[in-house]
Structure 1
């Protein structure tokens, strides 16, 4: 038993040096034989000494992964197999749970590449005391990490990556929503990250916090990226909470921040059958006129198409007025656009007559 670490060390030495490929199959056979021997010892000689021995060999293999270029994958898989043997040995031996927690955490932090630790495999050995210690240490190390702000490039150095992996596994194993949120909120580099946080909060009944994160996300994205999905989540939550007016307000604010046909359609669907729609529609369109940017005018034109499709008398009269305004905003491109409208609605004599009355 005592000779196994030396055997591993000998098999790993200069594994990537020139000419080592010729004897790698023999070295690999030695390493896999050690793994088999450890499994046999688990049956014949379990106890604290075996646990300590396996820990030494896992560490050696993890060092081998970090130092190898050609055989990282094989060594990582072998380290994982030996770690599984370690978990079984701990289940039978019942080591000090706090010491075990420290060893598992140190293994991962000092060897970011391998192996992955499954806390479920150590559930009995860690028990509540060990898991609490593991959680406390991990959180203490993770909390000071800087948040990756919106638009920033992720700073995933090896230390941060190792801590992130530890926290993700811990959050999943413990089903701790606060831990999951702590992990997610460390990376806010895009609107989709804000959406992830808000979705987790919504799914766990924390509606007020979810809406707060939606608002933060919308401020960050400025109408781009994940804006529509953030708006969807906010609308769903406000409607579920019996606050349709707040749902409309979220959409209205988003439309003013960055005009968008999809947002216009959301507002329309929410209030089209109420008395609030005509003045609100006028407010939205007037905002596009006042904005006057290329984006705003494009949205203006698409809204014209949407309202024309309704084919009501009121909509047609309104659209004709909008087209009249559009002529002043886009005098150079308006003639072609008007011909496009007329050709698409050539059978609508009422619309064509109304356009003719207005000199269009």
Structure 2
């Protein structure tokens, strides 16, 4: 039993050399793992716990330094760690010391096998798990947040801590831990959406909406903006505040006009008295903007309203077309031909356009 760590050290010596007989060394390491498993039946106790820790540590360190055989060494370390968990369940070592060992294994050897806390639930008990959590959080909290648009730099230390925290959050089902992990990386709008979704799903609607607004401010109408808006609208409608759903969409439209956002607003208020003045406000913003993007959005809005027969007041249609002619006088004739072609079967519309000088 006492010779097993030495056998591991011998098998790992110069294992990365091209001249080394790796299959023979791998077989020796596999034999050590098998011997440790057999000791669970005959020698389960504190000595086996310490022995397994020694072997796991050697294999985890080797998986980091011996790149040629990293996968096989990590798999062997995983097998021995499973033996260690079963030995701990039987021997019940000091839970605080066990928590420290599990954390140190992962932080000192990022290539170490993943530690599944469920396998150590009995051995850690409440005391050990609390110590594990407190120490992990104390190490994780000072890490800098990756801001919007920044490239995440996941060095070995950060990656190891992230893996520890993700497993801890999943095992404990602690939403606050999950949020602590997620809010360390806000490099894209999708990360804001993740945070808002977790908050929404956990019943923290107000906080979810706060993160939606933060995300919308960061993305500027791009990337995850559509999904963020969808979540905001769903939550406001669920909370019985439809006007706020309209307002958040209006703000998004003003920040970056798009047909999708226009249609969201339209769907929310088209059957109310608020729609005509709000529609005029949105169109006025496009006219003031006057840029190429705004003109394209303007054109698509006109097409949508025509297709849905949403413009029943011919005067409004004429006003919109006149504004488009002022924005793009050189291209307006081609656009008007496009409208006539698409709506060739609508004689009433075509006659009205002709009568109005179009």
> What TM-score comes out, normalization by structure 2 length?
0.99
CA offset digits 1:79-126 (Å, max 9, x no partner) = 000000000000000000000000000000001112110000000000
* Counterpart Cα distance in 1 of 2:22 and 2:314: 80
Which residue in 1 is equivalent to 2:14? 14
CA offset digits 1:223-255 (Å, max 9, x no partner) = 100001101101111111110000000000000
Pick aligned residue for 1:154 from 152, 155, 171: 152
* Counterpart Cα distance in 2 of 1:281 and 1:104: 61
Which residue in 1 is equivalent to 2:293? 295
CA offset digits 1:193-245 (Å, max 9, x no partner) = 00000000000000100000000000000010000110110111111111000
CA offset digits 1:168-202 (Å, max 9, x no partner) = 00000000000000000000000000000000000
Pick aligned residue for 1:337 from 335, 338, 341: 335
Which residue in 2 is equivalent to 1:246? 244
* Counterpart Cα distance in 2 of 1:228 and 1:122: 43
* Counterpart Cα distance in 2 of 1:270 and 1:178: 34
Q: How does 1:196-345 map to 2 (within 5 A)?
A: 196-311=194-309, 314-345=312-343
* Counterpart Cα distance in 2 of 1:189 and 1:133: 31
CA contact (8 A) 1:197 1:213 kept: yes
Q: How does 1:6-155 map to 2 (within 5 A)?
A: 6-20=6-20, 23-155=21-153
CA gap 1:313/1:90 in 2 versus in 1, 3 angstroms: closer
* Counterpart Cα distance in 2 of 1:313 and 1:123: 66
CA RMSD of aligned residues (A): 0.9
CA contact (8 A) 1:308 1:315 kept: no
SS of 1:263's equivalent in the other structure is helix
* Counterpart Cα distance in 1 of 2:264 and 2:314: 21
> What TM-score comes out, normalization by structure 1 length?
0.98
* Counterpart Cα distance in 1 of 2:115 and 2:313: 64
CA offset digits 1:9-45 (Å, max 9, x no partner) = 110111111312xx11110100000000000111111
CA contact (8 A) 1:259 1:288 kept: yes
C-alpha displacement at 1:351, in angstroms?
Answer: 1.1
CA contact (8 A) 1:199 1:210 kept: yes
* Counterpart Cα distance in 2 of 1:87 and 1:316: 77
SS of 1:71's equivalent in the other structure is helix
Task: Tell me whether 1:186 sits opposite 2:150 in the alignment.
Answer: no
In structure 2, the gaps of 5 or more residues are: none
Pick aligned residue for 2:162 from 161, 164, 176: 164
* Counterpart Cα distance in 2 of 1:91 and 1:83: 12
CA contact (8 A) 1:307 1:319 kept: no
CA gap 1:332/1:183 in 2 versus in 1, 3 angstroms: same
